[in-house]
A and B are shown apart, each in its own frame.
Chain A
Amino acid sequence: MRQTTRQISRFGTLKSLLQRFAFLSLIGLTFALILIGKADTVLVERARDAVTDAVTPVLRVMSEPAAVVSNFIENLRELAAIREQNATLREANTRLLQWQSAAQRLESENISLRGLTGLVPEPGASFVTARVVADTGGAFAQSILITAGQSSGVRKGQVVLAGEGLVGRVMQAGLYSARVLLITDINSRIPVQVGEAGNRAILAGDNSLRPRLMFLDNKTAAAPGDKVVTSGDAEAFPPGLPIGQVARVDEGVVELEPFVVRDKIQYVRVVDYGLTGILAEQAGTK
């Protein structure tokens, strides 16, 4: 009896020793991973691509119920406001018809003027539409996973838009899935211009809902309600893409309210403007 107890206690000690060893070696491994990740090797990027590609179909299925519920609630809300919306749309339609004739006139004028000056047209942009299947990172990173990858022409650095404006940029492209770095992520930096005066600034995310404007030429020039669009500097984004409007100016801190509401994005457009910009420079220096 005593021998059995001794054996059990010996076994217990051995087990706890093994456990401690496993814990310490795994902690060592996590630190090694943190260092490898910091070095930002191609290996980590490939691993992220492979895992994202493999898990995206699962996430796609999991995101379905929430999307259905959200669509249902949205439909109910729309149904309630249908009369009011109809009146607004009628009014907008009349106004747009006037704009249409103005646009047609300007277009024909433009064509004839281009013909006169011999302007070389800019290359057209092509785009892919993809579904958002994951909203990752929580409080620590702001990115989304989408269901289009290299097989549909998505490449790192391409611009991602939703109906209302800029969503972000493709940060990593797997074969069938891609990760989009949102404009609110702490690592996002976008050259922008503010208001009608077009003051240059850098839009910097900080993982909160509202990114901030940094290095604004003239801080007093920004006022709540000013529209912010991409400036096209550094050739990472084409100029003039709508991003949001200035929400608050307080003691030199200028906060922006993005046009795209992150919680509502279900589909995005990945646009290839043929820009290389900063990414090409980075690739060149590596």
Chain B
Amino acid sequence: MQATVLERMDLAARRFVPFGVTLVLMLFAMTPTHIPGLSHVTPMYALMAVYFWSIYRPDLLGYGATFGIGVLEDLLSGTPLGSGALVLLVCQRVVFNQQKFFNNKPFGIFWLAFALVAAGAGLIRWICVGLAAPSGFTPVGQMLTSTLITVAIYPLVGWLLAKAHVKLLAES
């Protein structure tokens, strides 16, 4: 049976979810939360989304989309152009390469793996920004705090992403 135009549009919209959600999370990281002390150590929300979708829907968030989100983040946040994109791409590559490892693993393992990915991502970004900035490296402590917060809140963000995955992408 041929799908109607509406059905096809619905499917296309659903397939856009991983990219859309990652984009929104990237922008969310920039909105002022007015929580004291948090603006200096904002969690890497885009990284969480890229990690999640690379495991569950690698078919719907490819390298091109990730690259686009990374470049957009760099342009908006004033960080050296290319540094954000590099981090997200490397993270995605690592997850794609370990696709078999992630099969049917409990959440604890996903979280632990994410901690490793986030640590690597924080380090790469720190080196990139330090090398590109004329004034040198940012204090390591801040990068570590940001990474720790990212890892700490991953269960919450991951849970929300899983909800979106089940609700919107179950049939597609």
Q: 24 A-B residue contacts at CB 8 Å?
A: A23-B89, A31-B86, A34-B128, A37-B132, A38-B132, A47-B75, A58-B27, A59-B31, A66-B31, A67-B32, A132-B32, A134-B32, A135-B33, A136-B77, A136-B78, A137-B42, A137-B79, A138-B29, A139-B143, A142-B40, A145-B76, A262-B40, A263-B34, A264-B34
A186 touching B96, Cβ below 8 Å = no
Q: Could you mark each residue 180-212 of chain A with 1 if its beta carbon is under 8 Å from any beta carbon of chain B, else 0?
A: 010010110000000000000000101111000
A140 in contact with B129 given A33-B71, A134-B32, A187-B134 (CB within 8 Å): yes
Query: Cβ of B30 < 8 Å from any Cβ of A?
Result: yes
**Does A171 have its Cβ within 8 Å of any Cβ on chain B?**
yes
For B28, give the chain A residue with the smallest CB separation. Answer: A62
Residue contact A23 to B129, C-beta cutoff 8 Å: no
Contacting residues, chain A, for B132 (C-beta < 8 A): 34, 37-38
Q: Quick one: given A67-B32, A135-B39, A263-B34, are A26 and B89 in contact (CB under 8 Å)?
A: yes
Contact string against A for B residues 126-138, beta-carbon threshold 8 Å, 1 for contact and 0 otherwise: 1011001111101
A residues near B (Cβ < 8 Å) are: 19, 22-23, 26-27, 29-34, 36-38, 44, 47-48, 51-52, 55, 58-59, 62-63, 66-67, 69-70, 132-145, 171-172, 179, 181, 184, 186-187, 204, 206-209, 261-266
Question: In the complex the two chains form, is A30's CB within 8 Å of B85's CB?
Answer: yes
Partner of A263, one of B36, B86, B93, B138: B36
Contacting pair A187 B135 (CB below 8 A): yes
Q: How far is the CB of B169 from chain A (nearest CB, A)?
A: 21
Q: Mark B58-73, 1 if CB is under 8 A from A, else 0.
A: 0000111001001110
Complex-state Cα separation, A133 to B31, whole angstroms:
6
Q: Which of B43, B78, B83 contacts A179 (CB 8 A)?
A: B78
Q: Give which listed residue, B129, B138, B146, contacts A206 with CB less than 8 A.
A: B138
Considering the complex, give the chain A residue whose CB is closest to the CB of B88. Answer: A30
- Chain A hits for B162, CB < 8 A: none
Bound: A70/B82 CA distance, A: 34
Query: Which chain A positions have C-beta within 8 A of B143?
Result: 139-140
A residues less than 8 Å from B27 (CB atoms): 55, 58-59, 62
CB nearest to A47 among chain B residues: B75
- Closest 7 A/B residue pairs (Cβ): A37-B81, A33-B82, A138-B42, A70-B34, A136-B77, A34-B82, A139-B146
Question: In the complex, given contacts A66-B31, A138-B146, what are 14 additional A-B residue pairs having Cβ atoms less than 8 angstroms apart?
Answer: A27-B86, A27-B90, A33-B85, A34-B128, A51-B72, A55-B27, A59-B31, A66-B32, A132-B32, A134-B32, A134-B76, A138-B42, A139-B42, A208-B141
Taking CB as reference atom, which chain A residue is nearest B136?
A186
